[in-house]
Chain A
Amino acid sequence: MSIFEYNGSAIIAMAGKNCVAIASDLRFGVQLQTITCDSSKVFKVHDKLYLGIGGLQTDALTLFQKVKFRTNMYKLREEKDIKPSKFGELLANMLYERRFGPFFTSPVVAGLEADGKPYICGYDSIGCLEKAEDFLISGTSPESLFGVCESFWKPDMSSDELFECISQCLLAGVGRDALAGWGSVVHIITPDQVTSRTLKGRMD
């Protein structure tokens, strides 16, 4: 079993019309044993920027701690929250710093720029930045997740439509994945607020 599949994860980020959504499953396990069903892989950087980190949980926690440090320092020096596009470049650089001893993670960024335009990007473990207009995924069953997202995503969805779309995609996508699932958490980011919902799924 690959080191990326040791703990199990599934993360989707999707863009809508002036809104963006990011969702992850809730399983935390060690290979085929499930330890807990309330471990979200999505972390808040600030009100308009969320980071989902799939892969090895220890590296996800360490990477987020480093991100928190860098973004806190940015906020102290620049006296404002970091823009999602700048943060995207920052994280790519942080990951490439460890080129020859990488974090075994696949992060996904979802945020809203100042003008309300959605920004989503994803990386491999060494920081290859990939921006997308529609959706990005990360997890232990990428084929399933790509399949459902490709089928159900459409441009210019409202926040309600986007919530429905991303929820159905995630729950369906983890259906056949033994290492991910056990419920999910969905964050919808709009210019006014962030709505977080926990979904009940098949507990297997």
Chain B
Amino acid sequence: MDFYVGIKGKDFVMVCCDTSATHSIIRIKQDEDKIIPINDHNVFCLSGEAGDRVNFTEYVIANVKLYALRNGVNLTTKGIANYTRHELAVALRKAPYHCNLLLAGYDEKNGPSLYWLDYLASLTKVNVGGTGYGSYFTLSMFDKMWHPELTPEEAVVMLDKGIEEVKKRLVVAPPSFIIKIIDKDGVRVVKTV
């Protein structure tokens, strides 16, 4: 079961995703990076139906790039979130994409932001967000530990504790995870667990 969680800090967003690619009960790959870069300062975390999530996010990423080329300026994270929601909403009553997304990004104007999107095209801005069985174990803990002036070191501690909890209590816990940070310097890997 896909698991991802994102935490918004003072001037960064940190996201953690499991790295298993599964097909029914078989784990095909152990080091699949499901945190996809949209551009230098925005990423999607993917979850859901195998074909849909890759197909849909590639489509959104291409259109975000097209906007930047046509207009000479990048879309803000809020713009990307609302555009993605629009595509999901239009497809919902025709051929729905069955994927849940977390959009994490940083722009100069608005600072860090984290958006939670649903396969039904629900959209909400969050400080801490996630999906999957793992999120049931971790989100309440993160709500307790979160504060507006969160530093990257504190966020890593939170995510480590979250991963430990998932491994301990979830029957179908994924074995490996990747943690990435998005801030004014772009997207980079913090660590793999």
Contact = CB atoms under 8 A, between A and B. Distances in A.
Interface of A: 6-7, 28, 30, 33, 35-36, 39, 56-58, 61-62, 101
A62 B91 CA distance: 12
Interface string B102-141: 0000000000000010101111111001000001100000
Contacts, number: 40
Given A58-B89, A61-B89, A101-B93, A35 B126 contact: yes
Interface of B: 85, 88-89, 92-93, 116, 118, 120-126, 129, 135-136
A35 B116 contact: yes
A58 B122 contact: yes
A57 B122 contact: yes
Which of A35, A61, A62 is packed against the most chain B CB atoms within 10 Å? A35
Contact of B118 (A30, A62, A101): A30
Contacts of A101: 93
A10 to B, nearest CB: 17
Contacts of B118: 30, 58
Contacts of A39: 124
A61 B123 contact: yes
B48 to A, nearest CB: 13
Given A35-B126, A35-B129, A36-B126, A56 B89 contact: no
A61 B89 CA distance: 9
A7 B122 contact: yes
B121 A58 contact: yes
Contacts of B123: 57-58, 61
Contacts of B135: 33
Contacts of B88: 58
B14 to A, nearest CB: 18
A159 B166 CA distance: 50
Contacts of B89: 58, 61-62
A52 B136 CA distance: 30
B55 to A, nearest CB: 20
A54 B126 CA distance: 20
Given A61-B85, A61-B89, A101-B93, A56 B124 contact: no
B92 A58 contact: yes
Contacts of A58: 85, 88-89, 92, 118, 120-123
19 contacts: A35-B116, A35-B126, A36-B124, A36-B125, A39-B124, A57-B122, A57-B124, A58-B85, A58-B89, A58-B92, A58-B118, A58-B120, A58-B122, A61-B85, A61-B121, A61-B122, A61-B123, A62-B121, A101-B93
A6 B118 CA distance: 12
Contacts of A28: 122, 124
Contacts of A62: 89, 121
The 9 closest A-B pairs by CB, nearest first: A58-B121, A57-B122, A58-B120, A58-B122, A36-B124, A62-B89, A36-B126, A28-B124, A39-B124
A101 B125 CA distance: 28
A33 B138 CA distance: 12
Contact of A33 (B93, B120, B136): B136
Nearest to B119: A58
